[in-house]
Structure 1
Amino acid sequence: MKKRLLSVAAAAFFGVMLNAQQIKFEEYDLPNGMHVILHQDNSAPVVTTAVMYHVGAKDEVKGRTGFAHFFEHLLFEGTPNIKRGDWFKIVSSNGGQNNANTSMDRTYYYETFPSNNEQLGLWMEAERLRHAEINQIGVDTQREVVKEEKRLRMDNSPYGNLFNTIQQNLFTNHPYHGSVIGSIEDLNGAKLDEFKAFYKKYYVPNNATLVVAGDIKPQQTKKWISEYYGSIPKGTVTPKNFPKDEPITKEKEVTATDANIQLPAYIFAYRTPSNKERDAYVLDMLSSYLSSGKSSVLYKKLVDQDKKALQVAAFNQGMEDYSIFAFFAIPMGATTKQVLQNDIDAEIKKVQTTLISDEDFQKLQNQYENQFVNTNSSIQGIASSLATSHVLMGDTNLINKEIDIYKSITKQDLQNAAKKYLNSNQRVIINYVPEKK
């Protein structure tokens, strides 16, 4: 009885936490098409100003890859009102922090300042959008920065090109077959006018979503937004009509080499639906059941009990147009690829034919409720979630509703998704092996 009372108390506490996590926001469009999302939280004296541009690596053209990520670096070079090299100095000297990141689908910039510098953050992001400096000095400087990043993160890092190898083999027609960082040869070959054209095409207000979250006074914030962003001219947004890939109906096996590894990795990858679809949430939960934490089924079997694998994982990479579900395993000792494949296939077969236990299902539900609370526990996290929900998911209020989607998923849904998407004729097997000396 005592245990039951404790669990009820815990559930009640979690219910309060989830209700407290309801994120209130206001959204509207400026006349130039820029979407604005405001979230007021006066509990701490900080404000995050963030802008998400709906341009990522998939928007690049063949022969000129890497532009979206390159601009993540280039647009810190300055503006007519921010001298080259001063961006980070201005932020840090005013008690702030900032960063940017790029994916296949979007590019995201943000500053977090003490709330008495909210106006500064809004002005800086407007400067970036209105008239960023695109000149040869900046291009040459940032090209070297990107080269070094590629060397460190990919070319000289163990398994650094593994995810790109998955993309190259899962996608043929859709531009997800490329990589976010792109080709250095393409960046080297690009002329200054091409960088200017990319900026003019994609860095327009009607391709951007501005989020201001934190200790704000909405009416004052709106005045600053109107002043700094309202007069920026509207651009022409190109429709995103990307070629689609035919369904995979026959198992394909490829081999890739990596000079930086001593142990092979084996990947079993599946092309799955867009992260806008409910099945993407189901597959995300299924990947957690299979390999999230040391108590997950794959880790317990292959790493802990049988000691056949040094590492094993199932991951679901959600993207705007398609997603990727993949199993990853590094063998232990003399374990062969076939042994790992057989064991992974056996676990897939189990979830296809047998409902997971009530205990495992409840653990999954708890895990996602906890994840929901943690994701939106900071102003920066809330700003990112609001922007992502609007730009990539088409519904800003998903910041509040996503937990309900996960809570609606049943054990039968998990089984159905495994049966629908994780069949051997729908996958690409990648043997990612050491390069022979």
Structure 2
Amino acid sequence: MKKHLLAFAVLAFISLTANAQKVKFEEFDLDNGLHVIMHQDNTAPVVTIGVMYNVGGKDLGGDNNPKRTGFAHFFEHLLFEGTENIERGKWMEIVSSNGGKNNANTSLDRTYFYEVFPSNNLELGLWMESERMLHPVINQIGVDTQNEVVKEEKRSSYDNRPYSQFVFAIDENLFKVHPYKYKNIGEMEDLDAATLEEFKDYFKKYYVPNNAVLVIAGDIDTSKAKTLVSNYFKDIPKGKEVVRNFPKEEPITKEIHAKFYDPNIKIPAIMAAYRIPGFKERDSYVLQMISTYLSDGKTSKLYKKIVDDKKMALQAGAININQLDYGVYVLYGLPLGDNSLNSLVSEMDEEIVKIQNDLISEKDFQKIQNKLENQFVNSNSSVEGIANSLATDYLLYGDTNLINNEINIYKSITREEIQKVAKKYLNPNQRVLLEYLPKENEQ
């Protein structure tokens, strides 16, 4: 009887949690094409103001010149330099002195700027983001300053950090014609060679209201917020429509062998990378479930087998890198002792074959569902997280209400579908097999 009562209590708690996580929001467009999303939550006196631009590392400078990489990431830094009404170097000071915090990040698909303020500073946040969009100061002093900042970031985050270049090494072998093959941070010689006019042209093309979404989440009065949005953004000129026509990749039909040498490591790694559908596709959700099954935690299949039981590896797992046009699925392992890279590949392949040949157990399937539901709830547990989800779901997925419904996609996936998708994408003849090696081993 006690077990039944406990089970009922757990189900009731999950139900209440799910209902509590329902995110209400309001959307509208300004005449200049800026899409606005508002979420009111008056439980705490804070507000997040974010602007997500439809521009990322795949959008090269100079009319998609392959020698102009890294522009979107560069602008993530450059657009904090200052504006006609915000003195150079004062952006962070204004935010912090008004009790706020701010940040920005760039992927290959989009760039996101945001501030978190006490709710009485909503107007300040909107003014600052309108300043960034309307008339930032883009001059040679700012370009030269941020060029050095980006170079230092590249040195500290990639050049001098162990295993940090594995994504670059995979992408340049996995993609032959799509701009995902270029580094998000770019090549430093490309930024050095770019002219001030090229940077100004890039801003005019991408950082316009009709290529962005503004999100406001937190302790707001929606009527007043609408008025403020109109006051600060309605007169920003609309830009030309951004048209993308990236070349399509041919399917991989034969295993590609590659090597990369990292001067910062002593222990080699093996990586099996597969090109998979973009994150809007249902199969991408299925592959995320497979990744969770293989690699989420110390009880997951790859870790338990290769690291714990057989003690063949220091680390082993799977990563699903979600992107809009194509995703990247990676199996990886770091050998322990005298175990070879090939032996790790054999062990990982064996686990994939099991998924392809037999349905995973009901117990494991439910475990995956529980983990993904927990991640879904946690992603919307703060107004900061909600703001990011709303902007992403609208701009990249084209469905703002995914913030409430995405978990239903995972719930609708079956064990049979997991088996089918593993058979479709995770085969040796469809991958890049990358040996990630210490630099001293280079021949």
Tell me the TM-score normalized by structure 2. Answer: 0.98
Matched-pair contact (CA < 8 Å) for 2:286–2:418 = yes
Alignment of 1:309 with 2:313, yes or no, is yes
Q: Counterpart amino acid of 2:261?
A: T
**Structure 1 unaligned blocks of 5 or more:** none
Pairwise CA distance, 1:128: 0.1
Aligned to 2:405: 401
Cα distance in 1 for residues equivalent to 2:47 and 2:428: 49
Aligned to 1:155: 159
Q: Which aligned pairs between 1:207-356 and structure 2 lie closer than 5 A?
A: 207-356=211-360
Aligned to 1:419: 423
Identity of aligned residues (%): 60
Pairwise CA distance, 1:129: 0.2
Aligned to 2:73: 69
Alignment deviations for residues 299-328 of structure 1 (CA, whole Å, 9 cap, x no partner): 000001111010111011111111011101
Alignment deviations for residues 57-77 of structure 1 (CA, whole Å, 9 cap, x no partner): 111121110110000000000
Aligned to 1:428: 432
Aligned to 1:187: 191
Q: Counterpart amino acid of 1:424?
A: P
Moved more, 65-74 or 236-245: 236-245
Cα distance in 2 for residues equivalent to 1:3 and 1:358: 20
Aligned length, in residue pairs = 437
Where 2:116 maps in the other structure, the secondary structure is strand
**Structure 2 unaligned blocks of 5 or more:** none
Aligned to 1:28: 28
Aligned to 1:17: 17
Residue among 129, 132, 153 paired with 2:136: 132
Q: Which aligned pairs between 1:47-196 and structure 2 lie closer than 5 A?
A: 47-60=47-60, 61=64, 62-196=66-200
Matched-pair contact (CA < 8 Å) for 2:59–2:71 = no
Q: Counterpart amino acid of 2:15?
A: G
Cα distance in 1 for residues equivalent to 2:162 and 2:375: 29
Pairwise CA distance, 1:369: 1.1
Alignment deviations for residues 350-394 of structure 1 (CA, whole Å, 9 cap, x no partner): 000111111111111111111111000001100000000011101
Q: Counterpart amino acid of 2:149?
A: V
**What RMSD in Å do the two structures reach over aligned CA positions?**
0.8
Aligned to 2:5: 5
Pairwise CA distance, 1:237: 2.1
Alignment deviations for residues 132-179 of structure 1 (CA, whole Å, 9 cap, x no partner): 110111111110000000000111111121111111111111110011
Cα distance in 2 for residues equivalent to 1:85 and 1:328: 42
List structure 1 segments (4+ residues) > 4 angstroms apart after TM superposition. none
Cα distance in 2 for residues equivalent to 1:315 and 1:386: 24
Cα distance in 2 for residues equivalent to 1:123 and 1:422: 49
Q: Counterpart amino acid of 1:47?
A: V
Pairwise CA distance, 1:6: 1.3
Q: Counterpart amino acid of 1:48?
A: T
Matched-pair contact (CA < 8 Å) for 2:393–2:401 = yes
Q: Counterpart amino acid of 1:162?
A: F
Cα distance in 1 for residues equivalent to 2:3 and 2:142: 63
Cα distance in 1 for residues equivalent to 2:425 and 2:4: 38
Alignment of 1:370 with 2:377, yes or no, is no
Cα distance in 2 for residues equivalent to 1:29 and 1:86: 31
Alignment deviations for residues 378-414 of structure 1 (CA, whole Å, 9 cap, x no partner): 0110000000001110101111110111111111111
Pairwise CA distance, 1:232: 0.4
Pairwise CA distance, 1:3: 2.6
Cα distance in 1 for residues equivalent to 2:21 and 2:252: 40
Matched-pair contact (CA < 8 Å) for 2:211–2:242 = no
Cα distance in 2 for residues equivalent to 1:307 and 1:143: 45
Q: Counterpart amino acid of 2:79?
A: L
Pairwise CA distance, 1:82: 0.4
Q: Counterpart amino acid of 2:417?
A: D
Pairwise CA distance, 1:55: 0.2
Cα distance in 2 for residues equivalent to 1:29 and 1:305: 56
Cα distance in 2 for residues equivalent to 1:417 and 1:46: 43
Q: Counterpart amino acid of 1:318?
A: N
